[in-house]
Every structure is written in C-alpha cells, then in structure tokens.
Structure 1
Amino acid sequence: IYAVLSDSSELDVTADISSSFSYQWQKDGSAISGETAQNISLTDSNENGEYNIEGSLEGLSTTSNTLSVQLGSNETLAITSTSTVYCNSSDTIILSTSTNLTDENFAWEKDGTSINTTDSTLTVSEPGLYRLVVSKGECSLKSNEISISPLDADLIQLDVDGDIVFPEGSSKTVNASGGSSYRWLDANNIEIGTTSSYTFSEEGSYLLIANIDNCEVSRPLTVSYLDLFNIPNVITPNGDGANDQWVIPNSYSNKSDVNVIIYNARGAEILNATNYQNNWPESSTTFSKQNMVYYYVIKNATETLKQGTITVIK
C-alpha cells in the first residue's frame, strides 16, 4: 500500500496500516468461515485449492492475487505380497493394500512404469520392483517397494561336496544354509530332522527339502561308509575264525545293484550274487588242492568296478 505525497512521490505504508484492515480469506472463490486474520494456516490435503484474501478499509476493498495450494497427504500407503519369490514360470504372487482404493486415482508400477490402474490387487509372475502410487491432487502418495525375484535354487548350500562318506561306526554332521526352513527325510520319506543341520550315522539315501520363502528346493544325498581295507586276495578257510571267508568292503557287499561273480581256474562260474553277504566260501565248500586260485569280478549294471584273484590257502 503506497501513499502519494504532495510532490507526487510514493511511500510504502503497508506495515503502518495493515492492522487496520478487515480481512476475509477465500478458497476457490468462496469466503472461508472464521478466517479473518492476516494469516491462514493449512494443515491437511483436504484443504488444497485456490486461495486469495480480500482486505477492506474505510470503504476501500481490494483482493489479492490467487495462490494455488497443494499439500501432500499425511497418509501412509503400504503394500504386502503373498511371497517375494516365484517358484516356477506358472507361479503367481499377489500384491495388495489395506487402503481402500475405491474412487481413488491410482497406479501399480513395475520398475517405475505404470502397469495397472484398475485393479485393487495385482497378480505378478515376473521379476521386478513393484509399488503402488495414489494421486492426491497435484501430489502422489507412494507405497513401500517390494522386490519380486525368481527362485534361485543355488542359494541352498551344503557344507559337503558330493556323497557323504565316513567310517562305519562313526557319524558325519552336514550343515545347510540359504533356506528359511528345512526337512531331512530318509529313504522311506520319514522325516528325521527339521533344523539346518543333521548328523548321519547310517549309510543310505536321504533327501533334504529346504524352503526359500514359499518355494521348495530338494537336495538328494547319498551316505556311504568309508572303505578302510582293500579287497583281500588271500583267504585261509581253516575254521579258526580268522580270514575264513572272503570279506569285501561295504561299498560292494550287501548291495542290490552290485553283482559279485567268482570263477574257478577253469573259468567256471561258482558264485554269482547280488547283495553279497561276505559268506564265501561256506563251511560246506570243499577244495581239492591246498592252494587254489579263483578269479572275481565285481560290477554294476554299467561297468566293472573291481576284478582280481583270490588264493585259497588250506
């Protein structure tokens, strides 16, 4: 507010007379009830709009410029997911929010790009960074971000490489990592452990099922006893209880998939057995000579595992 002096110069007298004015704040062209001070305080996004103020003094009335006010919302927007890892190409994950999206202008975004503006929940089957954005006037209310990724089965790690081998009568503890839960099963699918580690004391086939989020990862395990001796090439079946029978390592005996064959010196087959019980020669077996040589072959369905000679000393 300027006063014009006698010499036609102007003097700013706003500070001197502003308190003498009567004021009325307006929003979107309408007077706001009770707002008659020089200042107005706005705290909620519901108050967004076009504001101006009208000032009156002794019959003089003037209106200010119009100011557009857009306050950000103090609401919070959160989304959740049924999982953060999809297990296979046909798997789906659902994103949702507890916020009521009815009559809201919103968009689901993937990696910053809008992909859905109509559904209150979002079904996804692709990796990416997802969030929900709700428009509030000129401002946007953005949710937390959820990263969706495909299953990486290699995250499940064991602290052993290959088969688990230890001497018969001892044990071996195997530790797993990378999962949220674990189940150890024996060959009969009986659960034998539910922690990240298991101590094996018997040979056989086992299965580890580990969970990553909602996905399952299976790791088959083979446990066998360490052979502490070689296949003998001499036996002395004299009934003294020592070295009377041809005893071979556990890797080959008592195995349904291992075939043990023994031939005499003329090439005639005298033993052909799977699940060999370390029981040759039996007590009823007779030998015509003092030192007789036999030949053995140990094989499975695809290859010969061992072969050699057995000398029987009487």
Structure 2
Amino acid sequence: MRKFTLFYIPVLFVFYFNDVMYSQIVISKPNLEFTQACASPSFNTYNVSFSFSPESELEASNQFIVELSDGLGSFSNATQVYISNAGVVTTSPVTFSFSVPTTTSGEAYRIRIKSTAPTSTSLSSNAFPAYFKLQDTPFSINNLLASGVYCSGGSYLLTIDNPGRSENDSPLQYSSLTFNWYKETSPTTSVFISEGNTLSVSEPGTFFAETNYGTCTSNSFSNRVTISEAASDSKSNISSSLGNPYCSTDGPTVLSAINANGYQWFKNGEAIEGATKQMLETNETAEYTVNIDLGSCMTSATINLDASQFSSSINLEDVNELDENESFLATVSTMTNDYEFSWFFNDVLIENATTNSYEVSEVGAYKVTVTQTVGCKSSTTYNFTAQSTFPSVEKIPNVISPNGDGANDTWIIPKAYANGTNTEVVIINAQGNIVLQTKNYQNNWPEKQIDFKDINPLYYYIITTANGKTKKGSITVLR
C-alpha cells in the first residue's frame, strides 16, 4: 500500500487597494424665512437659509444653486432662482435672496439647495404656496351692470370684460391667469362655484369672480352681479361708461344693456331708429329705455341719464366804469357749491380771494377762473376791466385847453368811441406825424406838455369804429 504525504504550501494572495478619496459635503434642509410667496411687480424678494459641512471640503470653483420646484413640489423641471458666484461662499450658515418667476402659481412649491464642487443636493424644504400677482386691482364683469336676467329653464352668461372701460385693468390681458367664480351666501360669505373665464348662471343669486391667487390675499376681484329669473315685471340695469351723471365735455357716453338676443332702445319714450344693439352712444340728457329679448322671454331697463354741463355766469360786462372812491361787486353764479374761484388783478393772483364774489375798487384788468371740483372737473375764465368813468359828451370836440385848470384839459370823446369799443383813434400833428394811435383810448390825450411856441398847435384825428365807419376832424390846442 502506497502512502501519500500532503504538503501544505502557503500561497500568498496580495490585494492591491487603489485608495481614491472623494470630497463630499452635506447640505442641510433649507429653512424658509417666509410662509408663502405672494409676489407682485412691486415686491418679489424672499430669503432662504441653510448650512453645510465640512467647510474645508468646498472647492474654489464651487457654486451654490437654489432650485424651485413646480406647484406640486416636483423637481423634474426645476427652476434655478439663484446661483452664487464661483468660490464666493466659503462659510456656513448661508442666506440667499431670490425672486419667483412671473408664471408662479400653486400651493405646494418647494426649495432645495445644490452645490457644484463637490456636488451635493439638500433635502427639499417644506411646501409653501407661491403666486406672482400679475394683476392686483379690481376689474369688471358684465360691463359693470349690477344685474342680469335669464328666462325660465335658461341661463345667463357672466363674462370678464376685456378690455371694458378705459380704467379697467382686465386680467384677461395676462394669459397665464386663471379665475374662480363665487356665489354670495351672505354679505360677508360666499361659496366657490367653478373655474374659468365665464360663468353660466341658471339660478338666482349674486355672483362675482376672483383671479386665482390661492391662499394669497388679492385685490384682483370683480364687481357683484345679481342674477334673477325673468318675470312679467322683471327689470335689469343700464350702465353708462362715463358714469351718471357724466361730463358731456369728455365726449359721449356709452350705454350698455345685459347680454341678450336682441334690443330696441328708446329716448323719452320714442323708439330710436336703428338702435338695436347691446350698446348705445349718446351725449344728451334724457330717459333711455331698452327692451331686451332674452329668447323665450323679455325684460327691460331704464336710466335717467344726466349729461351734466359746466354752468356758471358773471354779473359784469367786459368793460365796467368805476367812479372815483367807489367800488362794485363782481359775482360769479353757479348751479351748485362744488366750485373753486381764483381772482386776478392785472394778471397777478389776488391772495385770499377764493369766494364767488370780489369787490372791485381799483381801475385795471381783472379775471376770475372758476373750476368745478366734482362731476365735470373743468374750468372757465371770465375777463373784465374796470375803468375810470368818462365825462359824458355828445360830440367830438375840436378844441382843448391843457392849462391845468381842470376844465377841458384833455380831448374827451363820446363813450361810443372810447375804451372798450374796439375803436381805433389816431391823432396826427401838422407835420403829418402820428402822435397817438390806439384801440383803447382813455380820454387822456395829451398826457405830455405841448410846446406852443408862437401859435396854437393844430392836430388832426381819424376815428375808425369796429364796423369800419370813419370820422375825421381837427383839434386846436389853446393856451
């Protein structure tokens, strides 16, 4: 029998480990310094803070990125709302400020932080509502009509006006916005009805729309409209685009009826030929009525339209005589007390003269500006003059004696040719030179001393009235 001897030969297995070290940091869950992001064109800044560790592992090229999820919290198409400059952030903790995109709209957004060198991603933040309020002012529906009517078994369509009146900032201008419709359950409460740009109403009630900004408070809401089922005596409303009363100097106003199949407008009970559309343009004060065809029933609406006019007057003529040491009262009359008054003397504002009357005691040029403060916010100006009372003469004199005795010192002509009559007065000396030419003669020539020399000077006058009639003659100046 053969014997076998076993030999144990130690075999050395040598393992080589390639010791490669990877840099790594840990970023904490972001801490939001806000509970909701209700952004607008005037405010869009929000803060988020986080920490990371270890600081020594950051590389010089590192950037931190703030990512925003979609409105459901998903980061599959995340938006980068902040990126730090390379190598700037080196210590922890960190606070960044960011802005949300103008398309932001949802209740469950989240934030997360990423680093680039080394690469790392934080957990996502708590969810928060976020909306960018592109439009945040009241808007109109139903052409600002307060009511609407539907036939039994039918419905009435409420729509957001676009653009509506000139002052209406219609939210339909912003394609990304959505809208919620509500029905009032009390003066202070309401219930959600549906979403959309329109609402078909088939039950009585008061309805309104709001731009959908979720839990963010907003001023983007509509007027209320009360809807009723048509009855034999049912009425609706007519709106005036410029209000009622309105200022006719601003142009015509547009009267609007509710949505319907057909219309016939009346003015003071008389049918207006061709006025068969939903809107009627007018600039006249009157009672307007419209018969409205709702399809299977009829209704009507009436408005007493007041086309207010600027109405005032003054109790003076353009030219008014003022006796020496006397005065007269200038008074502006208006229909209401909603006016302001500014008085001027020789184009200088008279301080503290702010009522509708002013006592005139000086010769000169006056004016008063009257401004209506409500309704038709317009103004008008009245101009008038106060002049010294001229002595009454019937004929044009041909002799004067400017010797300072107070009698016949100046050439005084009839009032029909004096100041305020737009009559041209020309005085020419014997050499043919014009010494006076005016359309505002004050009965004051000569104002300067005349050199008599050896004879009594002779002058000639030409008076031309506003209607072109002429009178000519001579003036002898005696010592």
Between Structure 1 and Structure 2, which shows a larger proportion of strand residues? 1
Structure number with greater CO (CA < 8 Å, separation at least 6) is: 1
**TM-score, normalized by length of structure 1?**
0.47
